[in-house]
Amino acid sequence: MPMRTLMLTLLLLGPAYLQAGEPDPLQSVMWEHHHRNLLKGEPYVFDERVRVQLPPFAEDARQVPVLIDARELGEDVVRIEAWADLNPIPRIFTFEPGEKALPLVAIRIRVEQATPVRAAVLTRDGVWHMGGAKVDAAGGGCTAPSVVRAQPGWEDHLGEVLGGRFPRGDASRLRMQISHPMDNGLVGGIPEFFLNQAVLRGADGQPLATLELYPAVAENPTISLELKTDEPAQLWLRDNNGNEFEAAL
C-alpha cells in the first residue's frame, strides 16, 4: 500500500488508532501481557478522560480505595475492566452500566505490592480507553489472613448489605457494604469463596447495572455506583458457592 494511502486510512480511522501502541505511561512490565490476555489485543488508546483515583500509598494493603470515573466519555461507554498489574490475581471487576447508570465505580481492593491499577473503558466504536495510577504498598494484602474469619459468628451475617443513597442533583449515588470474607484462595487451607456477581435492578425489574467481581476485591467489600435517577433499586448478589442475597436500596 502506498504511504500516502496508508496515512489517509489511519486518519480516517481516528486518533485512537493512531495512538495505539504508544509507550505505557505507567511503565509496567505487565502491560503488554494484560493487553493481550484481558483485552484480547484489541485497539486501545491512553486517555486522560478515564480517571483512576487511589491513595499514593496503601496504609492497609487489604483495603485500598479505588475510584474509576469515565463520565467524560459520555453515553458511549459499553464496559469497564479494572485490574492491578502486579497482583497475583490481577482482575478486580467488569462493569456494564445500563442506560440509567453512569460509568463510575468506587470499590476497595487488595494489593500484594506496589502496582499500577488500571481501568480499560470500551466504547461503542470498539476501542479501549485506558486510564491508570500507581499505588505504593508495604505488601502482603492478598496473602494476609482474613479479618472477617477471625470474628465470632461471621457466618450469621454473610451477605448482609448496609447501604445508603445520596442525592447528587438529578442523579443519586449508592454506597453499599456487603458482609463477605471474599477469600481469594491464596491463604493456606482456605479455598476461594467470594462474591462474583452483582446486578442492580430498577423498580421494573430491569437491570440498571451489572458487576462481575474477582478475588482482588477486599473482604466486606464497599461498592459505590451512580445512577441518573432516584428511582428505587434492588441489589442482587451471588457468590461462587451459589449463595444468593438481595437488598432494597
pLDDT in tens, the chain (249 residues): 443 443 344 344 444 444 455 789 999 999 999 999 999 999 999 999 999 999 999 999 999 999 999 999 999 999 999 999 999 999 999 999 999 999 999 999 999 999 999 999 999 999 999 999 999 998 899 999 889 999 999 999 999 999 888 888 778 999 999 999 999 999 988 999 999 999 999 988 899 999 999 999 999 999 999 999 888 899 999 999 999 999 998
**Triad 219, 222, 225: Cα angle to 5°:** 145
CB 31 within 8 A of CB 85: yes
CB 126 within 8 A of CB 98: no
Q: So what's the pLDDT on residue 38?
A: 97
Is the pTM higher than 0.85? yes
CA 11 to chain centre: 32
Rounded to whole angstroms, what are the CA distances from 166 to 74, 190, 225, 229? 22, 37, 11, 11
Q: So what's the pLDDT on residue 21?
A: 59
Q: So what's the pLDDT on residue 22?
A: 76
Q: So what's the pLDDT on residue 18?
A: 40
Beta-strand ranges (E) seen in 138-194 are 161-168, 171-178
